[in-house]
Amino acid sequence: MAAMAAAPFAAADELSDTGEFLDGVAAIVNDGIVLKSEYYEQLAGIRIQAQEQGFTLPPDNILREQVMERVILTEIQVQRADLIGIEISDEMLNQILTDLSAQRGITLAELPALIVADGGNYQDFRRQIRRDVLLEQLRRIDVGRRIYVSPREIEQCIADLENNVVVNSEYNLSHILLQIPEAASQSEIQAIVATADDIVTRARDGADFRQLAVRYSEGSTALEGGALGWLEGERVPTIFTDILGPLQAGDVSDPFRTATSIHIVKVNDMRSAVARSQIDQVFVRHILITPNEIIDDQTAEQQLRDAYGRIQAGEDFGELAKLLSDDPGSANEGGELGWAGPGTFVPTFEAVVDGLELGELSEPFRSQFGWHIAQLLERRVYDNTEELKEQNCVVRIRNGKLEEETQLWARRLRDEAYVDIRM
């Protein structure tokens, strides 16, 4: 299906005498290959997206080079994920597709028909989602572990949040990134700076920023017109914070430099954001018995039913938890799990706790971890604004470092790979 979709964009020498697309090797990458069909599918997708969104792509020779580099780098990263043992199980993939379906207001069972109605192939769609998730996991492991956020950076970030217009807004942003090679000479750096200045001048004179991003950006969203989408103010990368402060919707920033690159940002739109946050929390304790080679599922359930009866008869919950519970994190605390907000517990456990009255003891119930009984001790509405500030600062600082670290990581992978382009 991918080759059939891409055939209209194939060169004449890729077609048989009957006009059918002939698949083959586009590039050899280490011990793997990139098929022509993969390359043409990417090329077709970029062209369709540009047509739908109304921006002009760069000249065909430049576009083809950019797309080839993208599919090669994707293959390198897939090989890297396979080497370190990252896998996306069918169960995980189905859960992701279930969530995507819910966002569209349909069930997972209805998703294949919707994909077909949109002109796609469901199996191709599943493969693409699996690959996207695989690469995201790889970047989280390979790049994420390289990024360190110091306590001092967090303190400074929190101090900067007070009355900060960026934090109290949400932004729809587009971005152009120009890399500065590690061994660049002063004249090469000056040429990159001149290019950045020219891009800003053209953008402010009315040139389509998306088209400029496709043509010049070396960022990960270049072929999507540099689009970063909507970002909450507290999640805007820290390197953008000072730049965005004076900007309004439609403005293009001056070029600004970091250690390895030059950035240009356009504010497509902005809106106000909520400044404070409150969540409902519960304080709960539980006893867990996990089935194993000695205790089967039925025995585990019966042991908890016996414990349930003993607690109802007046025995101390905490002492029984210390004696019986298989949860190493809470057993020594009498089964107490501390204050917890929405999403802390697995859905089965959370649903049972949500249905309890204060002081009420649940009947034994099963989760993926084993058999539980739970008791709700307290409820409260908790203002977690300060905690969110710290969490969001960590995210913002990491995001501020992520793009450059990702580019450096990708560049190293590409430099270390054996690549033989056959087209």
In-domain check, residue 233: yes
Residue 216 identity (one-letter amino acid): Y
Beta strands in 214-299 (DSSP E): 227-232, 256-257, 261-272, 278-289
Kindly state whether residues 337 and 378 are assigned to the same domain.
yes
Q: What is the pLDDT of residue 52?
A: 84
Task: Report yes or no on whether pTM surpasses 0.75.
Answer: no
Distances (CA, A) of 118 to 59, 107, 109, 182, 342: 29, 16, 16, 44, 35
How many domains is the chain partitioned into structurally?
A: 3
CA torsion, ordered 316, 322, 324, 326, to nearest 10 deg: 140
Q: What is the pLDDT of residue 299?
A: 93
What gap in Å lies between CA 376 and CA 369, rounded to an integer?
Answer: 19
- Side-chain half-sphere exposure of 139, counting CA atoms within 13 A: 19
Report yes or no on 42 lying in a domain.
yes
At residue 196, the pLDDT reads 95
Same-domain check for residues 331 and 411: no
Same domain as 415, residue 291: no
- 149, part of any domain: no
Q: How far is CA 350 from CA 124, 152, 329, 365, 367, in A?
A: 35, 36, 18, 12, 10
- What integer pLDDT is reported at residue 1 of this predicted model? 31
Q: In 3D, which of 199, 87, 63 has the Cα closest to residue 141? A: 87
Containing domain of residue 63, as a range?
2-144
243 and 340 part of one domain: no
Measured torsion, CA atoms of residues 225, 226, 228, 230, in degrees rounded to the nearest 10: -50
Cα separation, 72 vs 189, in Å, equals 27
Polymer length of the chain: 423
Q: What is the DSSP string of 213-265?
A: HHHH--STTGGGTTEEEEEEGGGS-HHHHHHHTT--TT-BPPPEE-SSEEEEE
Q: Are 132 and 139 in contact (CB under 8 A)?
A: no
Domain assignment present for 215: yes
Determine the distance from the C-alpha atom of residue 47 to the mean position of all C-alpha atoms in its chain, rounded to a whole number.
Answer: 25
Is there a single domain that holds both residue 252 and residue 304? no
- Give a yes or no: residue 153 inside a domain: no
Quote the pLDDT of residue 294: 86
- The answer to whether position 244 is within a domain reads yes
**What is the domain-level CATH number for residue 137?**
1.10.4030.10
Q: Indicate whether 250 and 307 sit together in one domain.
A: no
**Where does 268-336 have alpha helices with state H?**
297-312, 317-324
Distances 206 to 199, 212, 262, 325 between C-alpha atoms, Å: 11, 11, 21, 67
Q: Are residues 138 and 21 in the same domain?
A: yes
CATH number, position 184: 3.10.50.40
Distance CA 380, CA 278 (A): 10
Q: Which residues of the chain have pLDDT under 50?
A: 1-9, 12, 274
Same domain (yes/no): 127, 6 = yes
Same domain, 292 and 375: yes
CA atoms 341, 347, 350, 351: torsion sign: positive
Q: Are residues 59 and 197 in the same domain?
A: no
Does residue 156 sit within a domain? no
pLDDT digit string, tens, across residues 346-398 = 888 999 999 999 999 999 999 888 899 999 999 998 776 677 778 778 887 88
Q: Please give the pLDDT value at position 31.
A: 92
What are the tokens at 3? 């080759």
Same domain for 362 and 236, yes or no, is no
Residue 391 lies in a domain: no
Residue 173 pLDDT: 92
Same domain, 7 and 121: yes
